[in-house]
Structure 1
Amino acid sequence: MPTITKLYTMEEASQHNSNGDCWVVIDGKVYDVSTYLDEHPGGDDVIIATTGKDATDDFEDAGHSKSARELMETFCIGELDPTSTSIPELEICSKKQPSEIAQKLKDLTKQYWAVPITVAGVSVVIGFLYLRRK
């Protein structure tokens, strides 16, 4: 008799994002790691930061051992529903925003170049006055 796997949506999994109630999604499986947070070697905040999204890349990038992967399977509570949409909504920006951002970058660039140029200019003047006195 095949086992029935509970299906969860990404939205449902992302609602479990606190120290007492934490689910993560890795490789299409949903894990309830609430009881493991205090034992996680990287700290609970690392795991909590991965809720609400597919944490597969974060998990793989951390280089978990074989024993860690085996332990992870004990926390599996189901699978991600393949029919649910897990793509986050895009934020719509107005056309004016890029020019505002560009202007802020331009202003910052002017501020940061002013200090080295001022220091160099003052150094040249002081050097010129020093050589002139000799």
Structure 2
Amino acid sequence: MPTLSKLYTMQEAAHHNTKDDCWIVVHNKVYDVTSYLDDHPGGDDVVLAATAKDATDEFEDAGHSKDARELLESFCIGELDTSSPLIPELEISSKRQPSDFALKLKNLPKQYWAAPVAVVGISVMVGFLCLRKK
């Protein structure tokens, strides 16, 4: 088996998720199966649903034959770079930074608060008056 020199991240492979450009990842290898989609016995939808993730479990659960496994190898374009994280790092924001919503709420003019406060106040008064009459 030839040595594969090209390494791909999961993010790179995930970008190829359409009928016109379809890559899948099985057993840490990256396969460009675009040209095979129309010939896949299970239909192209099955293959397209396996993009943008590690499709090893789906591939194994389908019970592919030895011939199918050999055919898959012919589409191999490289290996998955397992040293890179599968999920991009998330940026953690400080709790001290107020959210955009909090800033907008704080900056609202006081006139926008008058109507809701008046409605609530009137509702409470009407409620008390109704309870007193009973």
Which bin holds the TM-score, normalised by the shorter protein?
0.5 to 0.7
Name the CA distance, whole Å, in 1 between partners of 2:61 and 2:86: 21
- Counterparts of 1:59 and 1:83, CA distance in 2: 23
1:84-113: CA deviation from partner (whole Å, max 9, x where unpaired): 1114779xxxxxxxxxxxxxxxxxxxxxxx
- Does the CA contact (< 8 Å) of 2:32 and 2:76 recur in 1? yes
Residue number in structure 1 paired with 2:37: 37
Larger radius of gyration: 2
Alignment TM-score, normalising by the size of structure 1? 0.63
RMSD: 1.7
Q: What is the aligned partner in structure 1 of residue 118 from structure 2?
A: none
Q: Which has the higher helix share?
A: 1
Which residue number corresponds to residue 55 of structure 2?
A: 55
Question: Secondary structure of 1:42's match?
Answer: coil
Find the residue that maps to 2:60 and give its secondary structure: helix
Query: How far 1:52 sits from its partner (Å)?
Result: 0.6
Instruction: Trace 1:74-89 onto structure 2 (pairs within 5 A).
Output: 74-87=74-87
Gaps of 5+ in 2: 91-134
1:1-134 correspondence runs (5 A): 3-87=3-87
Question: Quick one: structure 1 residues 4 and 60, their matched pair in 2 at CA, closer, same or farther if it must change by over 3 Å?
Answer: closer
Structure 1 stretches (4+) deviating beyond 4 angstroms?
none
User: In percent, how many aligned pairs have the same letter?
Assistant: 70
SS in structure 1 at match of 2:64:
coil
SS of equivalent residue, structure 1 residue 36 = helix
The separation in 2 between residues aligned to 1:9 and 1:29, in whole angstroms, is 10
Closer, same or farther in 2 for the Cα pair 1:43/1:88, shift >3 Å?
farther
Q: Is the 2:10–2:80 contact (alpha carbons within 8 Å) kept by the matching residues of 1? A: yes
TM-score (norm 2): 0.63
The Cα of 1:3 is off from its aligned counterpart by: 3.7
| SS of match in other structure, 1:79 | strand
What residue ranges of structure 1 are gaps of 5+ in the alignment?
91-134
